[in-house]
Each structure stands twice: as structure tokens, then as C-alpha cells.
Amino acid sequence: MLSTMLSTICLMPLGCPPEESPSASEPGTFPFDASVRDVLDQAERVAESLEAWTRPALYRTENDLTGDSVLRTGWISWRRSADNLTVGLLLEWEVVDRARRKKPKDFILQGPFLWEVEHEGKLRLKRRLSTDDSATTLGALGRGPLPLPIGMSAEAVLAKFIVTKDVRPEVGVLRKIEDEAVRYLRFTPREDTPAAEQMDHAVVAYMPDGLPRGVRVERLNGDVREGRFDPIREGQAPPADLDQRMDPESAPREGWTIQEAS
């Protein structure tokens, strides 16, 4: 079923674009023979200076118990303003087998708060994540809808995960990445950390500038969550209401149900 889904998505505007491999000698990139620490350090540096970053996204979930797999397309966006950081996964279309339908749903992370926004039912659910520092950004591996180590320092990552070099996964959405400059790291949570309660391991794909190209998370219960962030192609543009969707706190409330989980 996965191969069918991926074939379908390749026919859409967000699927499988041709890629160019940036030179590893460009300023602000890690070397071709980068070590684990080289990659983590570059990821930390780019997050410190990053003000805005938006890319097309594929988001796939797989239920190990039922065997169900769902692929969704949309956008991932990162915004920094003063000391405020907002990261959003804005999903637009759902693809199951050959069926494709419009189904907007957003996950917006602002500090320790995660918003889940169901557009069809006009529901916004706000909940506080763990106060542990590994769960206060979308960079919390093992937490959130699409966990990434973006926004975490190299030291914080290494304190919570055993990190080793890896290769491109042979299954899932990351297998479509053709850029040879991308580097893959495998994150295995250390014992007695929050991530160890949920996650077996994650594989993160990094661009040479330190920004994420994709992630695949395999949970202890066998479920899989993964995402791929493609270059913006000619003619593509984020949704016109991106700014409003990235700020659910101040979005219009008339006709919406707002819930805050304890």
C-alpha cells in the first residue's frame, strides 16, 4: 500500500521534485565527511539565526496494530519573533490508497503549548506539553506530531540520545530523497528520558546547512510517524492564510469550539 500511496503523491504538486545537491564547501554548511557532532553543531547554529522557514511537507502515519497507513500533504513552517518561537505543521490533503481529499488540520507549537486545529469540525484544542526541556519544542524527539531535534542544542541532544550515523531508509517517504549531500543520523533515546517511554529510535535527514530534510520515528508499539520536507517548486506557494493559521490564539473564534486540556 505504501508504494501505491507514494506513486500517487508523486503525481501531485508536492510530490517527488527533482533536487540539486548543494556544494559541501559553501559557507555555513557541514563538510562532506561530517561527523555526528559536525551535523548537530550546524543544526544548532542554523536554528539560532533562523527567523522564518517554510517548506512543503509530506506527513505519514502507520498503525502497526491495524496496518493502516495515511499520507497527508501540506506545509511545515518555523517562525521566530523576539524570544517567541512558533512551529507549525499545516496539513491540507489526506491520501488513503488512491483516494485524495481535502482535510485541513494543523499542529501549532508555541513554547510549551501544542494546538491541534481541526478545520472541518471547527475545533481548536490547546494542551501543555511536559515541562521537561526535551518536550518544549517541535524539536522534541519522541513527542508531538512530527518530532525533530531542531531548536535543541547539540549538548541537549547528546544528553538525551545516543546519536550515530545512519543511511537513508529503504522504506517510507525518506527513501525518495535523492540528494547525496543529505546526511542521516539515528537517535536512540537514553534510558530514563521522556522519549524512551515512547520511541524506539528516529532517523533524521539533514541538509548541509543544518536544516531538516525529513524524519522517521519508530515507536515502541510499532507505529511509525514520518515526514519529508521538499524544496519549494516553481509555482508553489504556502496557503494564503498561513499567518492566521500559525497564530491560533488570536484566530477568529466565532463558530469555533476552543478547548484547553489540563
pLDDT score of 100 more than 90: no
How confident is the model over 187-206, as pLDDT tens digits? 998 898 877 888 899 999 99
Cell reading at 206: 539533514
The single-letter code of the amino acid at 186 is: R
- Evaluated on CA atoms 149, 150, 152, 156, the torsion sign reads positive
Q: How many Cα atoms within 13 Å fall on the side-chain side of residue 75?
A: 20
CA distance 96 to 149: 29
How confident is the model over 20-47, as a mean pLDDT? 75
Average pLDDT, the chain: 81
Over residues 61-75, the mean pLDDT reads 89
Determine the Cα–Cα distance for residues 139 and 34; give it in Å rounded to an integer: 21
Answer whether residue 24 shows pLDDT above 70.
no
d(CA 37, CA 114): 29
Would you give the DSSP letter of residue 251? S
Domain 26-232+242-249+253-257: give its CATH superfamily.
Lipoprotein localisation LolA/LolB/LppX (2.50.20.10)
Q: What percent of the chain has pLDDT over 70?
A: 81
pLDDT digits (tens, 9 = 90+) for 151-177: 778 888 888 889 999 999 999 999 999
Global pTM value: 0.81
Residues in a beta bridge with 162 = 188
Residue 160 confidence (pLDDT): 85
What pLDDT is attached to residue 213? 94
Give the pLDDT confidence score for residue 131 in this predicted structure: 55
Residues near 209 by Cβ (< 8 Å), separated by ≥ 6? 22, 26, 28, 29, 42, 46
CB atoms within 10 A of CB 50: 17
What is the reported pLDDT for 37? 95
- Domain residue ranges in the chain: 26-232+242-249+253-257
Q: Tell the residue number behind the cell numbers 517548506, with chain if given.
A: 55
